[in-house]
Copies of this chain bind each other. A is one copy, B any other.
């Protein structure tokens, strides 16, 4: 089947993949918007995780083909199995995403309620008492749900656990699944799915830019993917990039950074998140996410919005009626500042309720600390220099160092009816 995508054009899917698309678990993603509340600031941003995930799947295949274009696998079947596994992990990387935004993780159950047997196989299993998150739901969907059945029926040579392994690097791999002779493919395939240069970002930057109508996220995707490569270090395969695309990589990181600053952290999205969080953590909240994975399939943006219409909580009402608090003050800096806090206190003394929200944008966490197993090194290969040998990417570009600092955005919001009064107070007191 071909699917028409405004971003990548025609996307080809095989019949087994179409069966996954037709599953209830995957169809649910139609009703999960990619950017949650961002449609309140960028009205075109109504796109959903259904199409994003298809795009990621498509790019995973393209990335795989580029990385291994000169690589000799022991058999075409093995190559095909690893490629298909990577495409499936890409397609399903977001399958457990909660309604609307990460904020709804506030109302997820304890991990133990999910009965996630796959985690028992981990070396260091997580605390069963901790609150579950959307990644836990993803692993549950992949390894123990109606979706697992669909995967088994349609991909007889792929253990769903192998797909899960590319989403969660802590899970142990089915024996030999990612091996070809001396080579261990798991790290590089994991990096395709999740790393500083993963296909998730490659898809969402351009897609979000397209639907929002901005240019910030537009990157040189063809050149980046065409210059992906692989580097073997002690039998372990790592993701690599040809040096001639290194500035493209810089541009890619900066595009994401600017999308964060200008789109994802827009003050209107943030205030809706804040209000939702206030409702979800209030004592009268009646919205919960079920631990039963099949029931969870019913939990969508729609069901949450419909719920919000029916309750009396003031934050829920403000969201339902689109009467958000409005931004009074905004302060950007590279260092900590107590100005927002001071103004907040001043206003509260006046009896004005204030929401203070703070967002931190950082180009990347990649360079800080040593690369861990979770985050294998990306290498740079210079094909034009006889003396060069592959080097870790953080030694080849200064971008990580240049943008090491976190960018703080502090904001204060007040109710619309308090806005004028608050502005006058600020002007008068020169706060």
Residues of A within 8 A of B (CB): 2-7, 9-10, 22, 24, 27, 30-31, 39, 42-44, 46-48, 50-51, 54, 210-216, 218-220, 222-223, 226, 243, 246-248, 250-251, 254, 258, 261-262, 298, 301-303, 305-306, 309, 321-322, 327, 329-332, 334, 384-387, 398, 402-403, 405, 426-427, 430-431
B222 near A426 with CB under 8 A, answer: no
Number of copies of this protein chain within its complex: 4
Taken together as a complex, chains A and B put the C-alpha atoms of A327 and B431 apart, in Å, by: 60
Given contacts A22-B322, A215-B219, A251-B258, contact A330 B384 (CB under 8 A): yes
Contact B306 A6 (CB under 8 A): no
Residues of B within 8 A of A47 (CB): 44, 46
Nearest chain B CB to A128's CB is how many angstroms away?
31
A332 to chain B, nearest CB (A): 8
Q: Which of B213, B216, B298, B403 contacts A9 (CB 8 A)?
A: B213
Supposing A43-B4, A250-B258 touch, asked if A387 and B9 sit within 8 A by C-beta, the answer is no
Complex CA gap A309/B27 in Å reads: 13
Q: Which residues of B contact A48 (CB under 8 A)?
A: 46
Asked if residues B213 and A6 are in contact (CB atoms below 8 Å), the reply is yes
CA distance A22 to B416 in the complex (A): 12
Question: Could you name 15 residue pairs across A and B whose Cβ atoms are closer than 8 Å?
Answer: A4-B44, A4-B213, A6-B44, A10-B226, A22-B322, A214-B220, A215-B219, A251-B258, A301-B302, A303-B306, A306-B306, A327-B384, A334-B398, A386-B431, A402-B403
10 tightest CB-CB pairs across the interface, nearest first? A6-B213, A402-B402, A302-B302, A46-B46, A6-B44, A43-B51, A215-B218, A247-B261, A27-B322, A386-B426
Chain B proximity of A212: nearest CB distance (Å): 7
Residues from chain B with a CB closer than 8 A to the CB of A384 are 327, 329-330
Other contacts beyond A4-B43, A6-B212: 5, CB < 8 A: A4-B212, A246-B332, A301-B302, A302-B302, A334-B398
- A426 to B386: give the CA distance in the assembly, Å: 7
Instruction: Kindly identify which residue among B10, B43, B403 contacts A5, using a CB–CB cutoff of 8 Å.
Output: B43
Chain B residue at minimum C-beta to C-beta distance from A218: B215
- Give CA–CA (A322, B46) in the complex, Å: 20
Judging by beta carbons under 8 Å apart, are B2 and A226 in contact? Answer: yes
- Chain B contacts for A43, CB-based, 8 A: 3-5, 50-51, 54
Whether A258 lies near B262 (C-beta < 8 A) is: no
Identify A306's interface contact among B27, B302, B427, CB under 8 A: B302
Please name all residues of chain B whose beta carbon is closer than 8 Å to the beta carbon of A213 when the two chains form the complex.
4-7, 9
